[in-house]
Amino acid sequence: MTMFPQLLDTAVEKNFQEAVEIYAGLGVDVAKVVETLEEIPVSMHCWQGDDVGGFEVSDQGLSGGIMATGDYPGKATSPDELRADAEKAFSLIPGLLRFNLHAIYLESGGKYVDRDVVAPEHFANWIGWAKERNVGLDFNPTFFSHPKAECGTLSSADPAIREFWIEHAKRCRTIAETFSKELDDTVVVNYWVPDGMKDLPADRWEPRKRLLSSYDAIFADELGGDVKEALEGKLFGLGSEEYVVGSNELYLGYAMSRKKLLCMDMGHYHPTETIHDKLSAAMMYLPELLLHVSRPIRWDSDHVVIMNDDLLSLAREVVRGGVLDRVYFATDFFDASINRVGAWTIGIRSFKKALLFALLEPVEMLRRFESENRGAERLALQEEAKTLPYAAVWNYFCLKSDVPVGPAWLNSMRDYENTVLSKR
């Protein structure tokens, strides 16, 4: 079995000191960067751990225009397994993490509890775990994988179906409120509904009107605690290729007029459209945003995040805009074809690396070149930044955070697979 060597602490520290000097020469204060990175929370999505299955007693199967493909062995089949797997991933990822739950991850003691009766008591174990681990929780109502979600949810033409899902959402708000009070923390709730049509609709208007009035009904009551609510639009999904009721424009307007957050998922736009340029536009009007950190490939919006240009561009915009305190980061991908603890770790380590890369860029110099119309220097310095020793800073950050440095985390993943996951 391949064992990846762990770098010596002394080598990590030495390389780090060299990097500090190199960056200082470009006006970048590395110590400050590391401090900033440490404080940026990323909300790790629970659903990579079990392919978006959840723990409802009657298994509905994944539906709603999203799909997890692959059958790599070892997925979590109970809340305890999911918690153990998440903890394993936590031990491999540096810096602050939160945990992002969906309503279908309830624990109902073997009884079937339908969506319109979910309550805080079904999340008591999660709250206990979060307290013990000192990790914040975020939440999502689940508007998919349910017989009443087959022909729309909050935009359905059938008032009884709408009522059912409005009730679900209201109950989820109470759960989030409980999280916030119990953990004395801000909780982000994200609303994503799969409502849409495969082919040319006769009417694009009425479903949108109904969706808006459903949301207005959901949000009618003030919530206690500190709960932030975001709406996530989408261009298309599997089986909703032509029309998705909750589109980006609809939710941008809704978020602005109702003082909610807009959630932008990196995989929810035209296949070649990226979201980094949208931040400085949307945030002229929106105080806060939720970002779903993901990676689209062709028709799929949820591949494991890697440090590609899209990710770097997004990190840059948040950093350069100085809006780290106005943006919430949540990961959203699900790959059932690889080790799931590995998927979480790859994705979130990559995202944190991208944030670090952005924080280390010599932005002051770049801005000066820009104002002096020195385009070659501006471009050259951005290219040179790609070969600056950011990896030395990353390694130091991992060491300081007490997680494996470099590919050594793979030893731990493999060990967990052999001793735990493969026994399931």
- Clarify whether 192 is annotated catalytic: yes
- The secondary element (H helix, E strand) that includes residue 167 is helix 159-183
- 417 touching Zn ion, by CB under 5 A: no
- Clarify whether 325 is annotated catalytic: no
- Distance in angstroms (rounded) separating the CA atoms of residues 55 and 53: 7
Q: What residue is closest to ligand RNT based on CB?
A: 192
Given 50, 51, 85, 300, the catalytic residue: 300
Residue 234: which of Zn ion, ligand RNT, none does it interact with, CB under 5 to 8 A by kind?
A: ligand RNT
With CB under 5 A as the contact rule, the residue among 50, 332, 361, 417 that binds Zn ion is: 332
- 177 touching ligand RNT, by CB under 6 A: no
- 66 touching ligand RNT, by CB under 6 A: yes
With CB under 5 A as the contact rule, the residue among 265, 310, 317, 361 that binds Zn ion is: 265
> x/- contact string, 286-305, with Zn ion (CB under 5 A)?
------x-------------
Residue 353: which of ligand RNT, Zn ion, none does it interact with, CB under 5 to 8 A by kind?
A: none
> x/- contact string, 283-302, with ligand RNT (CB under 6 A)?
---------x--------x-
Q: Per DSSP, what are the bridge partners of residue 237? A: 240
- Distance in angstroms (rounded) separating the CA atoms of residues 67 and 64: 8
| Whether the Cβ atoms of residue 75 and residue 53 lie closer than 8 Å to each other | yes
Half-sphere exposure of 81 (CA within 13 A, CB side): 19
CB of 130 to ligand RNT, least distance (A): 19
- 234 touching ligand RNT, by CB under 6 A: yes
Cα torsion 79, 84, 88, 94 to 10°: value is 60
- Distance in angstroms (rounded) separating the CA atoms of residues 190 and 143: 11
Q: What are phi and psi of 168, to 5 degrees?
A: -55, -50
- 265 touching ligand RNT, by CB under 6 A: yes
CB of 5 to ligand RNT, least distance (A): 37
CB of 294 to ligand RNT, least distance (A): 7
Q: What are phi and psi of 197, to 5 degrees?
A: -135, 145
Site for ligand RNT in 191-230 (CB under 6 A): 192
Q: Which is nearer to ligand RNT, 40 or 231 (CB)?
A: 231
Distance of CA 29 to the CA centre of its chain: 28
- 353 touching ligand RNT, by CB under 6 A: no
> x/- contact string, 297-336, with ligand RNT (CB under 6 A)?
----x------------------------------x----
Q: What are phi and psi of 295, to 5 degrees?
A: -145, 110
- Clarify whether 232 is annotated catalytic: yes
- Clarify whether 292 is annotated catalytic: yes
CB of 265 to Zn ion, least distance (A): 4
Q: Which of 281, 280, 284, 278 is nearest to 292 (CA)?
A: 278
CB of 140 to ligand RNT, least distance (A): 5
The total of other beta-carbon atoms located within 10 Å of residue 181's CB is 16
Joined tokens for residue 78: 């109970």
Joined tokens for residue 255: 């978020």
Q: Which is nearer to ligand RNT, 30 or 189 (CB)?
A: 189
- Distance in angstroms (rounded) separating the CA atoms of residues 262 and 326: 12
3-state helix, strand, coil in the chain (%, to 5): 50, 15, 40
- Distance in angstroms (rounded) separating the CA atoms of residues 137 and 42: 11
- Clarify whether 102 is annotated catalytic: no
Burial class (CB in 10 A: 0-12, 13-18, 19+), 293: buried
Given 232, 288, 310, 317, the catalytic residue: 232
Residue 66: which of Zn ion, ligand RNT, none does it interact with, CB under 5 to 8 A by kind?
A: ligand RNT
Residues near Zn ion, by CB under 5 A: 265, 292, 332
Residues near ligand RNT, by CB under 6 A: 47, 52, 66, 140, 192, 232, 234, 265, 292, 301, 332
Q: Which residues are catalytic?
A: 192, 232, 234, 265, 268, 292, 300, 302, 332
